[in-house]
Structure 1
Amino acid sequence: MKKDTGILLESGTNELEIVEFEVGGNRFGINVIKVKEIIQPIPVTQIPHSHPNVEGIIQLRGEVLPVIDMSMALQLTPLSDSKEAKLIVSEFNKQKVVFHVNNVTQIHRISWDQIEKPSDLYKSGASKIIGVIKRDNKMILLLDFESIMVEINPESGVQMKELKKLGKRERIHKKIVVAEDSPLLRKLLNDTLSEAGYMDVEFFENGHDALKYLESLAAASVAIEEKVQLVITDIEMPQMDGHHLTKRIKNHEILRKLPCIIFSSLITEDLKHKGELVGAEDQVSKPDIAELVLKVDQYIL
């Protein structure tokens, strides 16, 4: 399947395109931005004593890439040798990985405000679902691929040891607003920023809630820079993504003074222009937490 439906060229529209695929009879989605290509299955070399979710490795145009069995990762019906099976070659968090799925069906363009946050009634701490899309009398589950990779390789996640090398800093009176939908990442960011001396951090699950909070502060008489000194935002979030949040902040008469740093697994040389177009002061790729703290230091005086 070619990605020929017109990748979103304009930044900050609060839209995304997803590749819909099937695993174990369920429908899932992955952001098109993370997809390099979709290919037919090729022979996989098994690796002794590898993680149970790792099917093996393949060689693709000179690169050796790990193949993840998505039925194992999602604890669903095992994959079968179907002619419809596909390999989704992906890149995020500065790594390339291949996801083996039952089938790839189509590409959808949707708005982030059409994606519902998973309910606490069916979402557990180990859930890989970050959003639910209702479309044409069916549900598409948007997956947290970063958590799938961290489960296999914890070193691919945020690493506190790099932060400790930076030393302590006195920033206790500086306030930061963070928009991040992942509970795991919110905790890690809280621990990280506290370790770095930033004790006053307000967290929000999506850009919509963060913007409403900032707008309420802007409506008061006190100068906004006395209440908040910086905003950190993820990109992929239900209701409102980080690009749209940044655009709204930079288009706001009062909030535009706030420095915005985008902290996302989607920060690559090919995609940095999207953050630049919406006015972000800086962009840091997960999981470079030490670089994020250095950038925060730079913009908070």
Structure 2
Amino acid sequence: MAGILDGVDQRTKLAGHNRFELLLFKLAGRQRFGINVFKVQEVIQCPALTQLPKANSVICGVAHLRGKTIPVMDLSMAIGLQPIDREANNYVIVTEYNRSTQGFMVSSVDRIINIGWDQVNAPPKGAGREGYLTAVTRFEEELIEVIDVEKVMKEVIGGSEEVSEGVLADNIVADNANDHVLIVDDSSVARNQVKRVLEQIGIRCTLLKDGLAAWEHVQELKEQGIDVPSYYTMIISDVEMPRMDGYTFASKVKEDPELQGVYLILHTSLSGVFNTAMVEKVGANEFLAKFKPDALAESVQKQLQAFHANSSS
């Protein structure tokens, strides 16, 4: 598997063109799954793991890599499938999500494919694993399932959605009763995490599943004669989404003279310097790494103050 992630810099050029690369792998069966290469730091042969007493049964143990200790999860168990045979010659996909590093044990790693987000769709309703999928796509006449890693991590590792005392501004709930925010994310867990933070600030929310749905939504508002920059205090959008990614959505919004006044935050589990550069390239107002309730609340409240100041002037 050495070298599978070589040339990641070349892959970053796909972002903003509604394209991405998907690392394909298998769990405890023949079905192939996928994960965005952007979230992958490396793929390694499964090392010796140190067991953790009283750990979640999904956590196989911890690995010691380059001075870091990272948890390694059985991704098959995490989405309700049979456990991976831990005596087999398995691999670990080392990823960075939501400002943390973790490994996912898989039985095999296949290849990297280059596809457009417009080739990626929401999972079919009624699929047994639908709750753990954010998207599906087809490759070599086979359905590839993209796992909702944020849902997995919330269930296995947990995390608070409460904003800390002292972060909420005085009387913030009463002041923001008329504010309205559009949340765009393909993960139901991520959508509701953002919604719960905004509800603590007293803000109404509209939730949509991907960039294309959001783009069609704001176009419909325009057709109804609604001034979108006044209707929505801000838009908070994920980057990785089927049909239309967040970079493309942000770029289209900011290129539209009637929409470019909307404050748009790209809120993503993808991290790194690259995202700051992409925010500038597509014209988004801010980049915020998932998921820190206090950081999100502080960013939202700062924009609320600016929005109200502009409205009253």
* TM more than 0.5: yes
1:292 partner amino acid: L
The Cα shift of 1:218 comes to 2.7
1:184-233 deviation digits (Å, cap 9, x = unpaired): 3333333321220212x221111111111111223454543332231110
1:277 partnered with 2:281: yes
How is 1:8-23 mapped onto 2 (pairs within 5 angstroms)? 8-23=12-27
- Cα offset, 1:239, TM superposition: 1.3
Q: Choose from 127, 134, 140 the match for 1:130.
A: 134
Aligned residues: 296
**Match of 1:140, SS?**
strand
Distance 2:228 2:76 in 1: 48
Distance 1:43 1:18 in 2: 27
Q: Which residue of 1 aligns with 2:62?
A: 57
Equivalent residue runs for 1:179-190 within 5 Å: 179-190=184-195
Q: Distance in 2 between matches of 1:191 and 1:222?
A: 26
By how many angstroms is 1:114 displaced?
1.2
Counterpart residue number, 1:151:
155
* C-alpha distance after superposition, 1:95-142 (max 9, x if no partner): 0001111110100111112112113322678x2111111111111110
**Displaced runs of 4 or more, over 6 A:** none
| Cα distance in 1, alignment partners of residues 78 and 228 from structure 2 | 44
Post-superposition offset of 1:180: 1.7
Instruction: Kindly provide the amino acid, as one letter, of the partner of residue 180 in structure 2.
Output: K
Task: Give the SS at the match of 2:260.
Answer: helix
Q: How many Å separate the matches in 1 of 2:155 and 2:225?
A: 47
Equivalence map 1:212-291=2 (5 Å): 212-291=216-295
Letter in 2 for 1:34: K
Q: Which structure has greater helix proportion?
A: 2
Q: Distance in 2 between matches of 1:10 and 1:133?
A: 18
8 Å Cα contact 1:36/1:90 also seen in 2: yes
Work out the CA distance in 1 between the residues paired with 2:197 and 2:69.
33
- RMSD (Å) for aligned C-alpha atoms: 2.0
**SS at the partner of 2:83?**
coil
Q: Return 5+ residue gaps in structure 1 as ranges.
A: none
Tell me if the contact between 1:206 and 1:238 (Cα under 8 Å) persists in the aligned partners: yes
1:71 to 76, 85, 102: 76
- State the identity as a percent: 27
* Structure-1 separation of matches of 2:152 and 2:166: 26
**Are the counterparts in 1 of residues 47 and 63 from structure 2 also a CA contact under 8 Å?**
yes
Tell me if 1:104 matches 2:109: yes
* Shift in Å, 1:88: 0.8
Task: Indicate conservation of the 8 Å contact 2:234/2:262, yes or no.
Answer: yes
Which structure 2 segments of 5+ residues have no match? 308-313
SS of 1:271's equivalent in the other structure is helix
Whether 1:166 aligns to 2:168 is yes
Give the conservation status (yes or no) of the 8 Å contact 1:94–1:285: yes
